[in-house]
Amino acid sequence: MAGEPSDDWTIRVMTRPDLDLAIDWAAAEGWNPGLGDVECFHAADPGGFLVGSLGTEPVASISVVRYGGAFGFLGLYIVRPDRRGQGFGHRLWQAGMDRLANRLVGLDGVVAQQDNYRRSGFALAHRNIRFGGIPHLEAPRDAGLRPVKPEIVDAVLAYDRPFFPAPRDTFLRCWLRPEARKAVALVRDGGVEGYGVVRACRSGFKIGPLFADGEHEADLLFRALASEAKGDAVFLDLPEPNAAAHRLAARHGLSAVFETARMYRGETPDLPLPRIYGISTFELG
């Protein structure tokens, strides 16, 4: 009966093939995941990805990744289109929220779902806007721009810490590895003044995160990272309140193509939005 999931409905932790399938679903929704995202998503919290199935047939996904002891991020909340409106998503949502009980929880939800998230205790913090375009850039020449190699990884992790509500070293150590992404830091007088990561996606390249002490530093890093696209499309997910990030996007010919609602259940964390020029991922925060 519509609205009542059937008795052969089960919820379990995803296997790696399940997560590959969920990423395919995300691509079908137009979310444009990165080609190498699965490994680092899974490394962040192997138990943080749930799949709902009818018998052996996966029909819904959700990620409920735990960071530290007090924060969690919810994403990849998808019900297969032919199974929507039958109650499966709601059951999986409840299981996911149970896993994040007693934590501050963040999410980047499509705007159309804001009212549903609000009914579940989430409040809007700000919008994130995806800008995209084809900037034709050469890598800038600046002695401070350095690839993130093992000798500066710890410094980059320390720089990242104020930009996220909880430590996320396990995820970042994977995200910063050079096999699937390029990470660049701006280092002056021995101190990190910003860093960013660019990765190939189903369509074009995404830059994220992009954190910097100022607009000039962010622009240097953006140009260094965007030059990796070599004429392909580049996407940047920026927090709407950061006016300097809007200027950066416009300066390089990017325009708004998509947006999400950054919402939290619990007190909104005090993050340095003026220095956040690109969030890491819509799926994991």
| CA dist list (Å): 273 to 28, 235, 236, 259 | 30, 18, 15, 16
Looking up residue 219, the CATH number of its domain turns out to be: 3.40.630.90
Domain boundary residue, one of 124, 148, 177: 124
Clarify whether residues 140 and 271 are in a common domain: yes
Q: How far apart are CA 145 and CA 35, in angstroms?
A: 25
Q: Give residue 186's domain range.
A: 131-278
Clarify whether residues 261 and 141 are in a common domain: yes
Judge whether residue 272 has pLDDT over 70: yes
How large is the average pLDDT for residues 179-193?
Answer: 95
* Of 70, 259, 60, nearest in space to 165 by CA: 70
- Distance in angstroms between the alpha carbons of the first and the last residue of the chain: 36
Q: How far apart are CA 198 and CA 159, in angstroms?
A: 18
Domain boundary residue, one of 108, 124, 140: 124
**pLDDT tens digits along 2-32:** 445 557 999 999 999 999 999 999 999 989 9
Cis peptide before 209 (omega within 30 of 0): yes
Clarify whether residues 249 and 155 are in a common domain: yes
Number of domains in the chain: 2
Looking up residue 42, the CATH number of its domain turns out to be: 3.40.630.30
Q: State the number of CA atoms in the 13 A half-sphere of 110 facing the CB.
A: 11
Clarify whether residues 27 and 97 are in a common domain: yes
207 within some domain:
yes
Q: How far apart are CA 71 and CA 53, in angstroms?
A: 27
Q: How far apart are CA 199 and CA 228, in angstroms?
A: 9
Judge whether residue 1 has pLDDT over 50: no
Confidence label for 219 from pLDDT (cuts 50, 70 and 90)? very high
Clarify whether residues 224 and 92 are in a common domain: no
107 within some domain:
yes
Clarify whether residues 139 and 18 are in a common domain: no
pTM for the whole thing?
Answer: 0.94
Domain boundary residue, one of 91, 124, 157: 124
Instruction: Supply the pLDDT for residue 2.
Output: 45
Question: What does the angle CA 43 – CA 100 – CA 121 come to, to the nearest 5 degrees?
Answer: 135
